[in-house]
Structure 1
Amino acid sequence: MAERPIGTESIDTEPFDTEPFATEHLTAHRRDATLVLTLNRPAARNAFSPSMLVGLHDGWMAADRDDTIRSIVLTGAGGAFCAGMDLKALGGADPEGENHRERLKADPDLHWKAMLRHHRPRKPVIAAVEGPCVAGGTELLQGTDIRVAGTSAVFGLFEVGRGLFPIGGSTVRLPRQIPRTHALEMLLTGRPYSADEALRIGLVGHVVPDGTALERALAIAARVNACGPLAVEAVKASVYDSAELTETEGLAAELARGWPILATEDAREGLRAFAEKREPRYRRA
C-alpha cells in the first residue's frame, strides 16, 4: 500500500496485508508509516493467549524487516490493554490456539520475545493504554518506548500477592525506568496504580481522556515518522545500548554511532529542507 503524505490521514486505521502474522487475537493495521498492533481478546481483557503471543512476535519481526514502517503503536481492543497471562489458554483450553502452541513449543523464547523481554524492535514502539494494564500487561508495557494512558487505565504487578514472581523482566527493567523506591513498592505490594499515579512516578508519559489514548499515540507516531528514519533508529539504539555503560564509554559509543548518521544523504536532505522551508523527503540513504 502506498504511503500518503504525513498529516493527510484520518484517525481511522486501514487494514493492510497482515497474512504473515495476524491471528485470532492479534490484529494489525497500517496508518501511513505506522504499524498498529491491537491485542484483540476483549472478552478476556486481552489476556495473553498462544495466538496473541505468536501474532505479537511475528508483528515485531515484520516491522523490523519492513523499512516502510517507521513506528509501531501497541494498543488493546474493547477498552482494555492487557490483563496478563491466561494460564488456561496457554495450557490448552483455547482450541483455536493449537497450531500456535506448537510454535511456542518449537521456540521456548518466542513468548518472551513477544512480550519484548528478549527483543527490542529497532523502530520506536508507542503504547496506547485504556483500562487494565496489569501483571503481564505492565511487563509488556516496560518494553515500549513512549506510553500514553487513558484516565481510567490501571497498572500493577500483582504477582507477589498470589505468591508468584514477575519473570517478564520487571525486577530488572522497572527500577531502571522509574525511581527504585516506586519500583520496589509496585513490585512488593502488588497493589493497583491509577493512570495519574503512573504518570507521577514516570511509568507513563501522557494521561489523556478515556477513549483518546490511541489518537494521541498515533499523533506522536506521526511526529516520529516525519523525522529521519536512520537518525530515529540510531538514537533509540544509542539510548538503550549506552544505559549500562559508564559516561565515558557511553559518550564514545554515541560518537561511533552518531557520526555516520551525520554523513548520510538523509542528513543533508534534512538541512536542505530546513533552508528551503519545506518538508524533508527522507530515503533511508
Structure 2
Amino acid sequence: MSEEQPAVLTERRDGVMVITINRPEVRNAVNAAVAEGIAGALDELDGDDDLAVGILTGAGGFFCAGMDLGAFVKGESPWFGDRGFAGIAQRGARKPLIAAIEGFAVAGGFEVALGCDLIVAAEGAKMGIPEVKRSLVAAGGALLHLPKRMPYHVVMELALTGDPLPAERFHEFGVVNRITGKGEALDAALELAVRIAKNGPLAVAASKQIVQQQYDWTSSDQWDAQGAIGGSVFASEDAKEGATAFKEKREPVWQGR
C-alpha cells in the first residue's frame, strides 16, 4: 500500500456509504489514523441526507485484527474524541451501519463490528476477544455488549479463554445476521443496505434509537419514552406519503420530514 493512501477509504453507492479500513499490511489494525478516519466517515454519513446506510468492512480479505499493538506501545491512541475506540465504540452512527466481515474480526476488530447495527460474515470467519492472552481487557465494548446479546456462560468463555469462535456459532446466537460464501460478505451487506434504504428515513432513525435506548428505560416509563421518539414520525409528511403510496400501489417518495 502506498504511504499516500488513507487508512480509511470511503465510497458512495446509491445512498450507501462503504467505509473500508485500509491497512492490510497490518491486518487492518486500529491506530490513530484509523480511529480518526472512521469517526470522520460516520460524521459524513450522518450529516448527508443523500446517504441512508453505512457499511464498514476491511481491505485485504479480512476485517480487523484490533488495536495496533506496535502503535500502542509507542504511545499512539486508537481512541478518537467522544466516539471512543476506533472512532466508533462509544458513539456509533445515527444511521444504520452494517459490518461486512471476511477472514476475522478479533479483539478490537470484533468490538468495531459490535458497534454496528447488523453483522454480515463470510463462512469460517473467526471472531473473538483474545485480549486476556496479552494481559489486556476488551475495553472497546465487547464486555458491555455481548452479555446483552449472548448467553452468560458463552460470553464468559470468550472473555476468560480469549479463544475465538467461527462466525457460524455467532450466527446461532443471533449476533451475526447473515452467513455468506467467502468473498461475498460485502455484496450481501450491500443487498441488506438497499432493503433498509428503501424505507422511510425518519422511521428508520427512530426505530434504531428506540431499540438502542430501551435498555435504560424502566417498565413504567418505556411507553412514554418510546412515544417521545416515535410520535413525531407518525405526524410527519413521510408517514402520510407511506400510507398514500400503499393505497395507490406505488413506491413512496420520502422527503425526510
Fold match by TM threshold 0.5: yes
**Cα 1:147/1:128, change in 2 over 3 Å:** same
Give the counterpart of 2:12 among 10, 30, 43.
30
- 2:240 is aligned, of 261, 268, 271, to 268
Residue 168 (structure 2) aligned to one of 196, 211, 230: 196
Instruction: Decide whether the 8 Å contact of 1:133 with 1:153 is kept in 2.
Output: yes
**1:228 paired residue number:** 200
Offset of 1:193 from its aligned partner?
0.6
Equivalent runs, 1:107-122 vs 2, <5 Å:
109=81, 112=84, 114-122=86-94
8 Å contact from structure 1 (residues 37, 72) kept in 2: yes
- How far apart, in 2, do the equivalents of 1:29 and 1:108 lie? 22
Cα deviation for residue 165 of structure 1 reads 1.0
Residue 76 of structure 1 corresponds to which residue in structure 2?
58
Counterpart in the other structure of 1:66: 48
- Mark the CA change 1:165 to 1:113 in structure 2 (over 3 Å): closer, same or farther: closer
253-262 or 230-239, larger mean C-alpha shift = 253-262
Structure 2: 5+ residue runs without aligned partners? none
Aligned residues: CA RMSD: 2.0
Say whether the 8 Å CA contact 1:23–1:52 is kept in structure 2: no
Q: How does 1:55-204 map to 2 (within 5 A)?
A: 55-90=37-72, 109=81, 112=84, 114-204=86-176
Q: Which runs of 5+ in 1 are unaligned?
A: 1-21, 94-100
Match of 1:4 in 2: none
TM-score normalised by the chain length of structure 1: 0.84
The 8 Å contact of residues 156 and 190 in structure 1, kept in 2 or not, is answered as yes
State the Cα distance separating 1:140 from its structure 2 match. Answer: 0.9
**Could you say which residue in structure 2 is the equivalent of 1:9?**
none
Structure 1 residue 40 corresponds to structure 2 residue 22? yes
Residue aligning to 1:247: 219
1:280 aligns with 2:225: no
Match of 2:35 among 38, 42, 53: 53
- The list of structure 1 runs, each at least 4 consecutive aligned residues, that deviate by more than 6 angstroms after superposition, is none
Partner of 1:16: none
Structure 1: how far apart are the matches of 2:118 and 2:155? Answer: 18
TM-score by length of 2: 0.92
The count of residues paired between Structure 1 and Structure 2 equals: 254
Q: Which amino acid aligns with 1:156?
A: G
Alignment partners' CA distance in 2, 1:122 and 1:23? 27
Q: 2:210 aligns with which of 231, 238, 248?
A: 238
Report the identity percentage: 39
Amino acid at match of 2:16: T
Residue 249 to residue 120, structure 1, CA distance change in 2 (3 Å)? farther
CA pair 175-23 structure 1, distance change in 2 beyond 3 A:
farther
What residue is the counterpart of 1:210 in the other structure? 182
With over 3 angstroms needed to count, the CA separation of the structure-2 counterparts of 1:23 and 1:175, relative to structure 1, is farther
Q: Aligned partners of 1:248 and 1:220: how far apart in 2?
A: 35
Q: How far apart are residue 152 of structure 1 and its match?
A: 2.3
